[in-house]
Structure 1
Amino acid sequence: MVITKGQERCLYVFPVAEFSRITDALSSAPVTAKAVRDYSRVLFASASDESCDKQGRVTVPPKLREYAGLDRDCVVIGANTRLEIWDAAAWSEYETDQEQAFSQLSEEVLPGVL
């Protein structure tokens, strides 16, 4: 798996195949676009290849733990093709802040699906 910085100060955990797909997509994006360069730099510079130990545990590199504020309790959520790792307090705050918007987003994000 690949662990890297995500938005809102969480961590993204991708299966290697999905991270490769993202890598391919970004490699075909125009390097002349500043947003592509900026996003790619942060995403790839913070990416760390990891694997489970014999007990199924994964070590999160110190710099990524620091970025996400993972000092004690954390939350792991499924987010479609990736997992996200959040500091528990940060996730609770994010979830509370987004609760109202979530009910209104389905028409905008998934028209005709939900």
Structure 2
Amino acid sequence: MARFLGTYTPKLDDKGRLTLPAKFRDALAGGVMVTRGQDRSLSVYRIDDYDVIAEKAVAASRNEPEARAYLRYFFAGTDEQRLDGQGRVSLSAEHREYAELTKECVVIGSFDHLEIWDAEKWREYQAQHEEAFSNAGSSALDSIL
């Protein structure tokens, strides 16, 4: 599995294309799945990683109406893409609208995937959650680990 870390600031071009960080292009060469993410962001998964997550989610959701509804929304908002020669991904009008993307974007690494944010929305998100992050320390991870 590739590890996606860091923060990058590419610009969305007039045709809706966004250049993904060069350091990840080899890992993304087999294609990507662009989905609606949380908090009005877009998520970008390698196809193989997406397939593993999707198979587990579908199997776990068979008897849960809320899980099925979430997955329908998730899958309906997914687009398979191949990076072009310049490492760009084409973002659909629906995705750009959902994430409220302007020309200024931020791509962040979220370990197993990338997230695409509008730059201003990302700054707002960081400001809103900075205190909680600072105060949580390792206790936030204790419940996960």
What TM-score results when the alignment is normalised by the length of structure 2?
0.72
CA distance in 1: counterparts of 2:110 and 2:136, whole angstroms: 16
The answer for the alignment partner of 1:56 in structure 2 is 87
The answer for the alignment partner of 2:18 in structure 1 is none
Is 1:97 aligned with 2:128?
A: yes
Q: How many residues align structurally?
A: 113
Is 1:83 aligned with 2:114?
A: yes
2:91 match: secondary structure: coil
User: Where is the helix percentage greater, Structure 1 or Structure 2?
Assistant: 1
CA distance in 2: counterparts of 1:35 and 1:103, whole angstroms: 33
Encode CA deviations 1:40-78: one digit per residue, 9 max, x unaligned: 011100100011111111111111011001122110000
Aligned pairs (5 A) from 1:1-114: 1-111=32-142
TM-superposed CA distance for 1:5, in Å, is 0.2
CA distance 1:97–1:45, change in 2 (3 Å): same
The answer for the alignment partner of 2:22 in structure 1 is none
Unaligned runs of 5+ in 1: none
What TM-score results when the alignment is normalised by the length of structure 1?
0.91
Unaligned runs of 5+ in 2: 1-31
TM-superposed CA distance for 1:112, in Å, is 9.5
CA distance in 2: counterparts of 1:42 and 1:104, whole angstroms: 33
Cα RMSD, aligned residues only = 1.7
